[in-house]
Amino acid sequence: MAVILDGKAVSAKVREEIKAEVERLAEVGVTPGLAVVIVGEDPASQVYVRNKEKGCEEVGIHSEKYALPSNTTQEELLALVRELNGRPDIDGILVQLPLPAGLDEKAVIEAISPDKDVDAFHAANVGKIMIGDYNFLPCTPAGIMELIKETGLPVEGKECVVIGRSNIVGKPMAMLLLHQNGTVTICHSRTRNLAEVTSRADILVAAVGKAKFVTADMVKEGAVVIDVGMNRDENGKLCGDVDFASVEPKCSYITPVPGGVGPMTISMLLRNTVTAAKLAAGCADL
């Protein structure tokens, strides 16, 4: 029977640490500030933004929300990003993705100052992650590394398989595992004999976006299984990329959906915002 990696519990612990850090910064007159920009009425995005606001409030980070209508032009959005880049009281800028059709996500991400890019999506920050010399980590992979740390098992020397090659999760996830001396394989829609590859994994990260895609025959006995998926099953119930019922008896640790990776993602965003504030104030060692 697998140990359930409780993202809510680990996230609560991380937030306590962040809150203590924010209090220390307040003593030297520094208040971390996060600006969240949301364009349009996407319901999932609205939920994420509310959760981010609640997270900021919980740890003492100043947050500002900019809710723009779906007919916002590219130039209007870029003008807002440029304005926020210039604000000394805003340390982190997050533009909630996806953007409505007609807006260029890549141009918007590249317009954010790399020093305020708390999602770590800017090409400069992606490059830094590649070479292992970074200030910010993408929030979901960083949260996954915290959950893996919670197992007490070292990544070093382990066979690590990541299913999914997105810029947001799959690719940076592979890099973080590599930086900890894991032997990493990235799988995707063109991978041949997928089950053969995944069943070698000591640590398996599923980030493919398909409900219950990973089944028991794809998982090694005793593996650590991290489920990044957020899908709906045939009954409309929230589920992950892993078929939890069949996989859970086979592995040593597994994340649930919901309550696994999700809460960690927002906590890592809060951590990145505090890091940005410390770097901007010149008190990185505090």
**Token reading at 155:** 């990544």
271 is in an annotated binding site: no
The 3-state DSSP class for residue 3 equals strand
Res 285: pLDDT: 75
**Do 230 and 187 share a structural domain?**
yes
- Count the alpha carbons within 13 Å of 139 in the hemisphere toward its beta carbon: 20
Average pLDDT over residues 204-224: 97
Res 234: pLDDT: 87
Res 241: pLDDT: 97
Q: 238 lies in a domain?
A: yes
Res 229: pLDDT: 95
Kindly report, residue by residue over 130-169, the tens digit of the pLDDT. 999 999 999 999 999 999 999 999 999 999 999 999 999 9
Q: Look up 52 and say whether it is catalytic.
A: yes
Least confident of 55-64, 126-135, 232-241: 232-241
Q: Look up 119 and say whether it is catalytic.
A: yes
- Count the alpha carbons within 13 Å of 90 in the hemisphere toward its beta carbon: 24
Task: Please state, rounded to an integer, the average pLDDT across all residues of the chain.
Answer: 96
**Do 255 and 146 share a structural domain?**
yes
**Do 254 and 150 share a structural domain?**
yes
Say how many C-beta atoms besides its own lie within 10 A of residue 209's C-beta: 15
Number of compact structural domains in the chain: 2
* Domain boundary, last residue among 115, 147, 171: 115
Res 141: pLDDT: 98
Which of 91, 115, 117, 119 does the annotation list as catalytic? 119
**Do 184 and 71 share a structural domain?**
no
**Do 96 and 51 share a structural domain?**
yes
pTM of the complete model:
0.95
Residue 201 CA, distance from chain mean position: 22
**Do 101 and 155 share a structural domain?**
no
Going from the C-alpha of 265 to that of each of 2, 21, 27, 145, the distances in angstroms are 23, 18, 27, 11
Q: Are 171 and 186 in contact (CB under 8 A)?
A: yes
Res 75: pLDDT: 97
Q: 131 lies in a domain?
A: no
Which of 91, 96, 158, 278 does the annotation list as catalytic? 96
Res 224: pLDDT: 98
Q: Look up 237 and say whether it is catalytic.
A: no
192 is in an annotated binding site: no
What is the domain extent for residue 159?
A: 139-262
Whether the per-residue pLDDT at 235 is higher than 90: the answer is no
Q: 21 lies in a domain?
A: no
165 is in an annotated binding site: yes
Q: Which strand (E) or helix (H) includes residue 225?
A: strand 224-227
CATH number of the structural domain spanning residue 205: 3.40.50.720
Which of 52, 220, 250, 278 does the annotation list as catalytic? 52
